[in-house]
Structure 1
Amino acid sequence: LYGPYVELEQGNYVALFRLKLLEDVEEMVARLDACVRYGQEVLNAHTLLGADLPVNRYVRVPLPFRYFGGKLECRVWWMGMGSIRVDRVDLFRFEGDLKDFIKRAPQPKPSGKPRELAYRTEPRPFADLFPRSRAPAPTLLVADLRHYPLEWQMTLVSLQGLVNRRRPQIYLLLNPTDEWWLEMMKKRGWIEATQEVTDPKELISRYRSMVRGLIVTDPKLPATKNIATMLSGVENALIASPSIARQLDLPIVADLRGRWKRNVDAYRWAFEKLWAQLNHHVIACLYPYHVWLRDYLVQHRIFVFWISGRVDGVEPYASPDEEVRLMERLLAQMPVNIPVMGYPWAGKDVGIGEGPGVTLFSEFAKFLVGSITCSNLSVHSGIPIKVLRPPSPPPPPPLERDKVYFTFIISDGDNLPVLTVHNFPQLWRSKLRGRFPLGWTISPSAILLIPAVVEYYYRTATANDAFLCAVSGIGYCYPDHYGKRFRQPDRERIFEEFLALTATHMKSMALKDAWIMGITRPELIQRYAQGIPFLRALFPDYGRRVRSYYEATYPT
């Protein structure tokens, strides 16, 4: 529910949300908020747990906030964990002090330690930068989960990860474009046939021999969804909410209910007890209520964490500063130049945020490969494509000194869901595409994780579609901060290796131009040119606003 985008007199207000819970669940069922600027400024927010609501009876839930102008929305974010019905939202002017009702946690603050780290590496147990699946089975079992509750999606996605570890056999429809990509892979011959599974729950019976039992999450502690994802990969067990566990005749391998009071305590336990059994070359930052990526995380036993932000950080189980400082310890333990999957943002002020998150990862010489809504990576990563070549562009026009030239580039191709779900599929089908030169950013990591998707774009590109490397290389990072936590003599080596990784995968996709972000030092820009010998053009201005052409140039 969103809207109505009304403008009111400045002052204090309270929104009364009249709603009812339709089934008995304990999980977080919704988040209520009031916002302006189309969600860019959240005035107040409130989390609704099913355990706090009566079943089948309307209640009014108050949300007070201060309004200073702008188009107001009162929104309901449904979490998919239990059915609710929203009847209406009433708005009242409120006289009095709201300071006890409007809560915001401080922005998570890293400690800055450890620092002066020594260069750290260890042998990678798989051939590529990312672990990849084997080639998919000739026939894939396809189940449509788009109308299933999130708790069932979580269980079946964990099953997909376990089964596809041996060889991809299950493909789940979670996104609106999943069916389209599946048909495309069939047409290209990477998959011979598909078999529809009308009751997705039957997959559990079919693959019962591969499942030891259940990992039961704690509805009162969101972090247990991420802990359960790690345990699922380690113990070969399914993620299950308490209500799902009651429906399945499977033994309980681990019951996480009541084990911890705070998210940070759960993540600390996972670091101390599970780290030795997990993948040390990939890590994931994932909001506990996001389900899509988890097949790949279970499949490859990847550590999953979340750092609370100003909105979710006010919950009694959250402690943002302790969470970010625990992750400083973990990031320091990992090899340099490895990817962080997922995304550190799940809505305005939910999570540490994009900028602070990418800065933190960059300081520890890690780069972000945005992938929160990527589904079926346990299938996509197994498509056997090693090298891709786009069509040759037309020759450039002769340049004249008395003219100013522009180039138009579509941003955000560093985020894999932009390629699979969001901007690109819609923009790519525009009838205007191909009529004028246009640059499309794309992550060099895409050829490893979604090679068939990249092949589609390259194959259907016109001569006016040019591809270039997205920010800021093999993954999203801020070069000014890259490797900052390491000793000065090691920083150059770390950045050289980052550029070498970037060059290798740019070459496999025939990318010759790059758009970089978070870089102001001319010597670093020069190192891009030196470290990527075939680099043709470099755009170091991402996100920068300038008053003149001269401010947009970087003499090197």
Structure 2
Amino acid sequence: MVSRRTFLAGSGAVTAGGIGLVPTLTTTAAAASSTSGSPARLLPAFNRPKHLHYGDASKLSGHDQTLLTTLQGIVNRTKPELYFLYDTGTQSTPDAKWLTDMHLPTTLYKNPLDLVAKYRHRVRGAIVYDPAVPDSLNVATTLAGLEDCVVADADQAKAHGLRIVKDLRGKFDDDRVKTYRWQLDNLFPRVTHKLLAGLPPTRVVAVENVQWKEIARETRQIRDSSNRGNFDLDVSAKLGKGKVYVRWQDSFGDDGWGPSVSEVWVKANGVEIAHFKPNTPEEAQYLFDGANSSIGGDANRFCDGGGYYIYAFDPPAGTTSLVVTVTMWNQYLVSTTDTAPTRIEPFAYFRDYVVATKAMVSWLPPGGATGALLTEHFAKWPTLAPYMGWFANDVSGEWDGVDLASKGGSPVIAADFYMNGTVHAGFTAPISEKVRPVRRITKPKNKVYLTLTFGEGDNIQYCQRHMRDLWDDPKRGEAPANWTISPMLLETGPGLFSHFQRTATANDLLVCGPSGAGYTYPGSWVPAEFTQFLKLTGSQLRRTGMDQVYSYSHRENDKWVVLSEEIARGFAKYTPLKGIMQTWDGDLLAVRQGGLPIAGQWGAPGKAGEYKTALDAQVAKWDGTKPLFISGGINAWNWTPSDIAELASLLDDRYELVLANAFFDLMGRVLP
């Protein structure tokens, strides 16, 4: 799964009324019922919005966005009234599209900060965070929900006439464990136990008009480390203003094999001034921005796609020659500048939902002492209480964090960039329970049956943003494609789910994202608790008409393993699933476990032509005496429906491209 750093169509009517959010955030009777007799909802419920005051917050600083999103949380807790645009404010962006498609009366505020004065009477004042201690912003957010306050710095509180209810300046130091230990010990009895949130306290913001000079580029698509070597990068052209910044990017952003670096030396006028390896204390003083990169198995720092990492070096005065030597490989693009390219600001997103639900929010990397404290959080919250937000340390943090959450009985809902969640959770729209009919292949041939699936659908912010962009591709529907989507949108964004369901073509099939009612690793759960997860998943699937799932399993010796017979039997018993596509590291996988057909999710780098070449290489191993089943994963961050259509046009007579329901229907009949 790619790291996640990274709206409603105009034709449908909406249901009348909504689900009420009572002040204590208990589940209402209306929330506890459904036409399928499902259990009470998992998350707190919100009223349906009737009129929205909105503004374009995309150009505001993170400080002002945080002020507005926490105000939004207090106001929208009773009834959603505030909505903000976080893209560009034009009618072509997801935030604007969803707003238009809700067909609600709206009032535009050209300066969204004017809404602070309009709604100041609805808040008790401000919780002031300490800019010197970034994690204090998360503590301030938790307190804001409990005290009916906004989060602000001291200058904002003064400028907007907000009474300071609690001042966190000087209360905490840089000891993250100690900060969140105080929060857990002192605030746990007061926060909601329906969910737990994880949000970064800060974000990296690009500075505009920075001029980068390219100094090295790999022009070949190399993915096997065959170009590994020591490279001398002369950055002397950027001397003279102080620090020199060097950035690594992927020279081919669509295939996942970006630049790796395992060691760095820096010489100023021939004298070594720096020497370090990634992920060490020595690297920390030079790593200016590593948030969009990861640490690999060779103790290397790497990034893929649109990711990057930046080192900053401060040469001595009078330096005329500055050379950076790196051990580097794969698809690198290296550039340099003498201008600080980014700045740090508060991370504002999803805080409306956290404040409105009175949730506790922290930011605890899943390893070491912070990981132990995160584990303690999971132990204190009830089984099935979701962890909403994301994890620190990018891909490695994802795997370790989801594993800890799974062991603790908490499904993960990737939501750190889910904007206006308090509005989307309250806006109701019709969702059909009807299962899509199967185009049954009555006379199977000895062909390659291929199904293609866009990943990332467990990620509700992807469903809200990037999936909407992909969905609006004019070539969607030209070729069969499966779209993973989160059934948790039943509670966090029913209007979003309704839009995708109602506007799907005959060649679009919604399938459940990993691994059911939230992102999780089934093999890491306590079995009795996993049964509860399966029952919840079954309820959600029946309410949304989905009967295929893309599921993770768990890792052993750094490899994904086949879902066990016991886990597969659980899926078969408690859910309506007809088939499972699962994470897989090897070649092709098509087996029956627990009575269900399971296909390993196979993938290939590059776009249509390269993908087809890799498919042909797999097919060359096939003896042609019986049908071959290939479940193909599609990188949602790099592919579009246009790419799917191009790939479909390249398939010869050996292939038949089908939707997942036909794929698993046939696979279930053919497999022994």
Give the TM-score normalised by the residue count of structure 2: 0.58
Q: CA RMSD in A?
A: 2.4
| 1:239-288 per-position Cα deviation (integer Å, ceiling 9, x unaligned) | 00233234232211111111111222221111111111100010111111
* Secondary structure of the structure 1 residue equivalent to 2:47: coil
Is 1:323 equivalent to 2:370 in the alignment? yes
Aligned equivalent of 2:452: 408
Shift of the 39–270 alpha-carbon distance from structure 1 to 2, 3 Å rule, reads closer
Q: Are 1:215 and 1:237, in contact at CA under 8 Å, matched by a contact in 2?
A: yes
Structure 2 CA distance, aligned partners of 1:212 and 1:351? 40
Q: 1:518 Cα deviation (Å)?
A: 1.8
Of 270-279 and 382-391, the range deviating more from structure 2: 382-391
Q: 1:400 Cα deviation (Å)?
A: 2.4
Write the letter of the residue equivalent to 1:497. Q
Any unmatched runs of 5+ in structure 1? Answer: 1-37, 41-76, 78-122, 310-319, 484-490
| 1:124-143 per-position Cα deviation (integer Å, ceiling 9, x unaligned) | 64541111210112x21011
Aligned equivalent of 2:549: 514
Aligned equivalent of 1:460: 503
Q: Paired residue for 1:223, among 130, 135, 142?
A: 135
* Secondary structure of the structure 1 residue equivalent to 2:360: strand
Structure 2 CA distance, aligned partners of 1:220 and 1:399? 68
Structure 1 CA distance, aligned partners of 2:172 and 2:199? 19
Write the letter of the residue equivalent to 2:145. G
Q: Paired residue for 1:378, among 422, 435, 440?
A: 422
Any unmatched runs of 5+ in structure 2? Answer: 6-24, 32-40, 88-92, 203-346, 555-562, 595-672
Q: 1:393 Cα deviation (Å)?
A: 4.7
Structure 1 CA distance, aligned partners of 2:580 and 2:404? 25
Shift of the 124–546 alpha-carbon distance from structure 1 to 2, 3 Å rule, reads farther
Structure 2 CA distance, aligned partners of 1:498 and 1:179? 35
Structure 2 CA distance, aligned partners of 1:472 and 1:179? 30
Q: 1:386 Cα deviation (Å)?
A: 6.2
Alignment of 1:428-443 (within 5 A): 428-443=471-486
Write the letter of the residue equivalent to 1:445. M
Aligned equivalent of 2:410: 366
Alignment of 1:452-531 (within 5 A): 452-483=495-526, 491-492=527-528, 494-519=529-554, 520-531=563-574
Structure 2 CA distance, aligned partners of 1:495 and 1:285? 22
Write the letter of the residue equivalent to 1:322. A
Q: Paired residue for 2:200, among 282, 287, 291?
A: 287
| 1:334-392 per-position Cα deviation (integer Å, ceiling 9, x unaligned) | 110121100114xxx35961100000000001110111111111111111246325784
* Secondary structure of the structure 2 residue equivalent to 1:277: coil
Aligned equivalent of 1:46: none
Q: Are 2:431 and 2:497, in contact at CA under 8 Å, matched by a contact in 1?
A: no
Aligned equivalent of 2:94: 177
Structure 2 CA distance, aligned partners of 1:504 and 1:389? 11
Aligned equivalent of 1:444: 487
Q: Are 2:26 and 2:44, in contact at CA under 8 Å, matched by a contact in 1?
A: no
Q: Paired residue for 1:297, among 326, 351, 354?
A: 354
Structure 2 CA distance, aligned partners of 1:524 and 1:432? 38
Write the letter of the residue equivalent to 2:586. V
Aligned residues: 406
Q: 1:412 Cα deviation (Å)?
A: 0.7
Aligned equivalent of 1:340: 387
Q: Are 2:568 and 2:593, in contact at CA under 8 Å, matched by a contact in 1?
A: no
* Secondary structure of the structure 1 residue equivalent to 2:188: helix
Aligned equivalent of 1:419: 463
Q: Are 1:214 and 1:238, in contact at CA under 8 Å, matched by a contact in 2?
A: yes
Shift of the 439–197 alpha-carbon distance from structure 1 to 2, 3 Å rule, reads same
Q: Paired residue for 1:257, among 169, 175, 188?
A: 169
Shift of the 435–351 alpha-carbon distance from structure 1 to 2, 3 Å rule, reads closer
Structure 2 CA distance, aligned partners of 1:418 and 1:390? 24
Q: Which has the larger radius of gyration?
A: 2
Overall identity of the aligned pairs, in %: 30
Shift of the 39–356 alpha-carbon distance from structure 1 to 2, 3 Å rule, reads closer
Aligned equivalent of 2:8: none
Q: Are 2:54 and 2:107, in contact at CA under 8 Å, matched by a contact in 1?
A: yes
Is 1:553 equivalent to 2:591 in the alignment? yes
Q: 1:465 Cα deviation (Å)?
A: 0.7
| 1:142-189 per-position Cα deviation (integer Å, ceiling 9, x unaligned) | 111111111000001100100111101111112342111000111xxx
Q: Are 1:143 and 1:196, in contact at CA under 8 Å, matched by a contact in 2?
A: yes
